[in-house]
Chains A and B, each alone.
Chain A
Amino acid sequence: MRSLLVRLVVVLFVTNITHSAICQSLAFPRAVTNQATPFVNSAFALTIDPERMRVAIGGYRGDVVVYETTSLAEITRLESDGGMVLATAFDPQGRFLLVAGDPTRLNVYRTLDWTLQRTIKLPFRCGFLCCHPKLPIVALSGKGTSLLFYNFETGTLVAVSIAGWNAVLS
């Protein structure tokens, strides 16, 4: 009888501990931070560089804010040059941040010091962009446009896809 009581106490103790742990992880996913960040305009573009712990967001007002992912502290704020930001991406090596939107341009920022390296004038309003995994090439498109390939280190147009299709989303 005594043995059973001891086991009962032990099991109830373990159950209680486990229950606490379970309650803490019940919500999946759960919002741990939902605060208003300093970013206060309607967002259209979001990209992350998790290995270097930074996330960049841009939108209606045209400025791009880069946050440190752990603390959500603002790393830098890239001022608007007059139009909406519609797409943004870090290159795979994390050396550049590419920002596209209105006016029809692609801005290339160096992440070392967040200086604007170059602005590439585009023939259309770019809504989508993605970087090549190995080459300094970015593919850009707008709604219903051909696909453009730029070398973002030199700013030169590498190719225009004329494969018979027009991009809608990329």
Chain B
Amino acid sequence: MFTPDGQALLAVAKLPDNESTRRHLIATDTSGLSETGFRPADPAFRTLETTSVGFHSLVGSLSHSRFAVVDQSGRILVFDSQSLQLLTSIAGNFASGKGLAFVDRNTLGISTGDAFHTIDLSNPEASLTTPSDDAKNSNHLVYDFTQSRMFVSHARAKNQLTVWHLSSRTVDAGGFAGHPAGPIPGMEVAIDSSSMQPQESVAETEPIEVTSPVEKRIDQGTFHPADLAARLWTDTRSSKQIEANFIGIDGDEVLLRRSNADEIIVSRQRLAGADQKFLDEILETFPATTDFKSFAETQSRPAGATRLESKFKMELHLSMKTTETSRRRLTEQVCSRSTVQCPIDEADFSCRPIVA
């Protein structure tokens, strides 16, 4: 595939002086290409990545601002098309992944023969696996961004073209046909977060980036967890940080909401000490937050639905239990942890961000 400006061509290649099994992801200079010729005839090239097991797929995002390859060891590599720098390396169970496509510049779809995976490049922990027989013998994925559909071709006896609808990413609450959603087993992620910052405007669908902390609001005697200020949460396993609002806690599961409305369920045990302390203080202030899990267990609903019902149950419980004293304590806690300086207004206990 070409880079968006046509200045380079990306390919997987075999170099004659290498071992026969080694494969190289190369970028060759095509700036001298014209409608009638190519100068010089022997263009320069450089190797971006090498593997001894071979590559399956090489695809670009819609605007070709990024490209990705998957190799037969199961790694997915994502590069910036302009700088040709590696942005993300995801090691997972993708060794059989022959179909790969960008959904948007931060989301990849991949078919691995027994499942479809949807990988959030900015938050791989929230990636989803959807086991399905329909993933068998799939060889190409192409994404229709106008309708959020993934077209999949299959080399098999029948039903060779399937179409998948990718529903809203606002609910991270379950998998296909009742299969549990969640991080892909064995997936390890190495992200250069500085390289994942928003770049030039592109035509493809862009996730909403965090622009400012969520405005805090504790009013009318009702505390809604969703109204707490966004804060940084640290995953001790990956050392990755995300900015998100605390929504609720259900046993070991902490429900967070990012500014683009994505909801993430993370294990409390994986959160850093400061996050644990924050949760302890929330629970201390509102012991009711520990009191809603039994509700979910009585319902025969999909796991994600019960989690979210738990959240609403908690909000209901909190709204009934909140007292002025606890509101004040919480206001102080929130303000002290906010990424925006936030004075306490004694009159109404509301938080107001200071505008510089």
Contacts and interface: CB of A to CB of B under 8 A. Distances in A.
Most chain B CB atoms below 10 A, which of A33, A45, A163, A170:
A163
B13 A69 contact: no
**7 nearest A-B pairs in the assembled complex, by CB-CB distance:** A159-B38, A43-B153, A46-B140, A165-B13, A32-B165, A169-B12, A170-B11
B53 interface: no
Given A26-B174, A29-B166, A42 B156 contact: yes
Interface string B156-188: 111111111111111111111100010000000
Contacts of B155: 42-44, 59-60
Contacts of A34: 134, 159, 162-163
Interface stretch (A93-101, A105-113, A118-126, A144-152): A144-152
B176 A27 contact: yes
A72 B163 contact: yes
Contacts of A67: 161
A28 B305 contact: no
Contacts of B37: 158-159
Given A19-B309, A151-B36, A170-B12, A46 B142 contact: yes
B140 A168 contact: no
B304 A7 contact: no
Contact of A30 (B3, B4, B161, B176): B176
A99 B43 CA distance: 27
A116 to B, nearest CB: 22
Given A30-B176, A55-B144, A163-B45, 9 more contacts: A33-B165, A43-B140, A43-B161, A50-B144, A50-B146, A69-B146, A133-B64, A164-B42, A166-B16
A11 B292 CA distance: 15
18 contacts: A8-B320, A15-B312, A26-B174, A27-B167, A27-B176, A31-B163, A32-B164, A47-B142, A60-B155, A72-B163, A151-B35, A158-B35, A161-B28, A161-B38, A161-B43, A167-B11, A167-B12, A168-B55
Contacts, number: 254
A59 B130 CA distance: 26
B287 interface: no
Chief secondary structure at chain A's binding surface = mixed
Interface string B19-42: 000011010101001111110011
Contact of B38 (A41, A133, A158): A158
A159 B146 contact: no
Given A15-B312, A28-B181, A132 B6 contact: yes
Contacts of B116: 29
Given A11-B315, A133-B6, A168-B13, A48 B134 contact: no
A15 B309 contact: yes
Most chain B CB atoms below 10 A, which of A7, A139, A162:
A139
Contacts of B118: 28-29
Contact of B165 (A29, A144, A154, A159): A29
Contacts of A168: 11-14, 23, 54-55
A22 B12 contact: no
Interface in B295-338: 301-302, 304-305, 308-309, 312-313, 315-316, 319-320
A156 B35 CA distance: 9
B14 A144 contact: yes
A40 B160 contact: yes
Contacts of A18: 308, 312
Contact of B174 (A27, A162, A165, A169): A27
Nearest to A162: B42
A30 to B, nearest CB: 6
B173 to A, nearest CB: 6
B320 to A, nearest CB: 6
Contacts of B304: 22, 26
Given A40-B158, A43-B155, A135-B6, A167 B13 contact: yes
Contact of B143 (A48, A131, A136, A164): A48
A86 B15 CA distance: 24
A38 to B, nearest CB: 9
B45 A133 contact: no
B147 interface: yes
Contact of A170 (B58, B143, B162): B58
